[in-house]
């Protein structure tokens, strides 16, 4: 895997790509890779690619499988190219908006196409599909069973299913498998389609020298195949199947009452011993990621040092307590699984010297956020002049922040912070997104990460997520006309000026 030297990344989730079918998909990823090459950008960062649920407003941080891919990202056009369906099958109505994701439309368009492709499997494609099922059986079998059971029981959470299935009685599971064999196989087939398209896009990115940078939520949703299939790994009430304690963070920048995420916590130790089943599950998770990505950001990395434990009965995160995490031992146990992944530690929020020590001992780069840099004084750790170690990533903002323009015009952001930014950037504020961008690019940080919204100067209406809220998130899409040569050339010139230009040898042949 290539070493990541001084470079730039663009943050744009797959759902935010342009496309004709209600949501960005893997087919649109090829054109975006081309855009990155033109822009001299080395890395494409995106959010988790897991399957999402309307029950959680399609948050990619509350997916119902840690290893499966989101079927909504499967490209109908690529299905035609691969011969799974005919060209006439993909002729569908245009979505209502190119600026917003329509999850219901995206699902309605794709489901009939998946069914047609499954029914028409050629002998050669079936052989490849069956090879995929054998290769990925460690997670795929439970995921497909879980997906069918959710359908059979009207999307009810798994702890509300018949007791024998909740407790995974072997005979009952085998009977359900027999009775629903075709539906279970169909869900496996959808995962095969996702995998086939992902690896085609991955191969193309590698040919162009572009690195894929993904995201792994440290926790998983309670209503997921992972928790249902691995109940001894999680802090659950054995009678009800519900979490005894849940994850979150104490009051912070984003919320005065903290954030109660609701995910079940891990049982790092079981009966006084290391929980071997949990470590096996993590190895499998990293193995899947290593086959898809070059880099991965571990969201909420600090929980490996200590995590906020909230009693499940509490409605907010205020009454939680800190508990010790597994620390260095965990990563020592994961050494082989992580051999082909570069890890980035999301070290934001309430970070202690112990968390910093763990991060530095492991050699993981952390994150610096420019929107946090102007709310105090010259000692603010996020100011570019205070970055003493280049082994970090500097962001104008993340998917959890407002856009740079939105931040600047937010009346709740103190005017003093905006004034400090203008002085620091020697700016009049008229192109504040470019000021943020250039501060990131000019820093000593090894990688500068620019959300696409900040490159384009978009406002709050294009924000991706508002932490501690549910409605209205994960919807923004980038219309195709914005990914044009003029924008790419602007980014390329900025990368060249600040010593971050990525180019392949072929780029220099004509110079």
Domain boundaries, the chain: 230-364
Q: Would you name the residues annotated as active-site residues? A: 299, 346, 400
Sheet holding 342-345, edge to edge: 342-345, 295-299, 211-217, 43-45, 7-11, 447-451, 392-395, 366-369
Q: What separation, in Å, do the N-terminal and C-terminal C-alpha atoms of the chain show? A: 28
| Dihedral sign for Cα atoms in the order 171, 172, 174, 175 | positive
> Where does 120-136 have alpha helices with state H?
123-135
What pLDDT shows up at residue 429? 96
The 8 Å CB, 24+ separation contacts for 271-280 are 274/329, 275/232, 275/233, 277/230, 277/232, 277/233, 278/230, 278/233, 279/330, 279/333, 279/334
Q: Which residues of the chain have pLDDT under 50?
A: 1-2, 508-511
What pLDDT shows up at residue 271? 85
What pLDDT shows up at residue 511? 39
> Where does 426-467 have alpha helices with state H?
432-442, 452-456
CB distance 278 to 233 below 8 Å: yes
CA angle 262, 263, 268 (to 5 degrees): 135
Angstrom distance (rounded) from CA 72 to CA 27: 12
CB distance 474 to 464 below 8 Å: yes
């Amino acid at each position: 895997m290539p070493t990541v030297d001084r470079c730039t990344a663009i943050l744009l989730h797959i759902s935010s790509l342009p496309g004709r079918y209600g949501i960005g998909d893997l087919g649109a990823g090829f054109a975006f890779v081309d855009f990155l090459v033109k822009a001299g950008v080395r890395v494409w960062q995106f959010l988790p690619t897991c399957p999402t649920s309307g029950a959680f407003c399609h948050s990619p941080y509350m997916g119902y499988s840690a290893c499966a891919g989101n079927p909504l990202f499967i490209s109908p056009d690529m299905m035609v190219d691969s011969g799974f369906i005919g060209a006439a099958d993909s002729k569908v109505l245009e979505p209502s908006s190119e600026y917003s994701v329509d999850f219901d439309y995206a699902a309605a368009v794709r489901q009939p196409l998946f069914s047609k492709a499954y029914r028409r499997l050629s002998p050669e494609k079936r052989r490849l599909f069956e090879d995929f099922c054998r290769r990925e059986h460690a997670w795929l079998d439970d995921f497909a069973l879980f997906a069918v059971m959710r359908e059979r029981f009207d999307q009810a959470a798994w702890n509300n299913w018949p007791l024998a299935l909740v407790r995974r009685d072997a005979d009952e599971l085998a009977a359900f498998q027999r009775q629903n064999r075709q539906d279970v196989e169909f869900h496996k087939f959808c995962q095969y389609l996702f995998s086939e398209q992902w690896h085609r896009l991955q191969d193309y990115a590698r040919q162009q020298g572009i690195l894929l940078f993904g995201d792994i939520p440290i926790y998983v949703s309670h209503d997921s195949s992972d928790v249902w299939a691995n109940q001894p790994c999680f802090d659950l009430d054995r009678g009800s199947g519900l979490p005894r304690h849940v994850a979150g963070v104490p009051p912070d920048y984003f919320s005065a009452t903290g954030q109660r995420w609701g995910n079940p916590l891990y049982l790092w130790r079981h009966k006084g011993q290391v929980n071997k089943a949990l470590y096996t599950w993590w190895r499998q998770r990293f193995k899947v990621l290593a086959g898809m990505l070059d880099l991965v950001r571990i969201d909420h990395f600090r929980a490996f040092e200590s995590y906020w434990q909230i009693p499940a009965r509490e409605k907010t995160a205020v009454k939680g307590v800190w508990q010790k995490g597994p620390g260095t031992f965990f990563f020592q146990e994961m050494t082989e699984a992580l051999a082909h992944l570069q890890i980035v530690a999301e070290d934001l929020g309430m970070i202690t010297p112990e968390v910093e020590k763990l991060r530095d001992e492991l050699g993981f780069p952390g994150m610096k956020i420019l929107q946090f840099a102007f709310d105090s004084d010259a000692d603010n750790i996020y100011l570019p002049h205070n970055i003493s170690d280049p082994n970090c990533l500097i962001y104008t903002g993340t998917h959890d922040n407002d856009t740079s323009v939105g931040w600047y015009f937010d009346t709740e952001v103190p005017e003093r912070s905006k004034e400090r930014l203008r002085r620091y950037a020697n700016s009049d504020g008229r192109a504040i997104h470019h000021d943020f961008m250039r501060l990131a690019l000019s820093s000593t940080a090894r990688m500068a990460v620019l959300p696409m919204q900040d490159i384009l100067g978009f406002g709050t209406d294009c924000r991706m997520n508002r932490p501690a809220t549910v409605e209205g998130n994960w919807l923004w899409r980038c219309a195709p006309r914005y990914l044009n040569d003029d924008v790419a050339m602007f980014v390329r010139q900025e990368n060249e000026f600040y010593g971050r230009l990525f180019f392949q040898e072929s780029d220099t042949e004509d110079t």
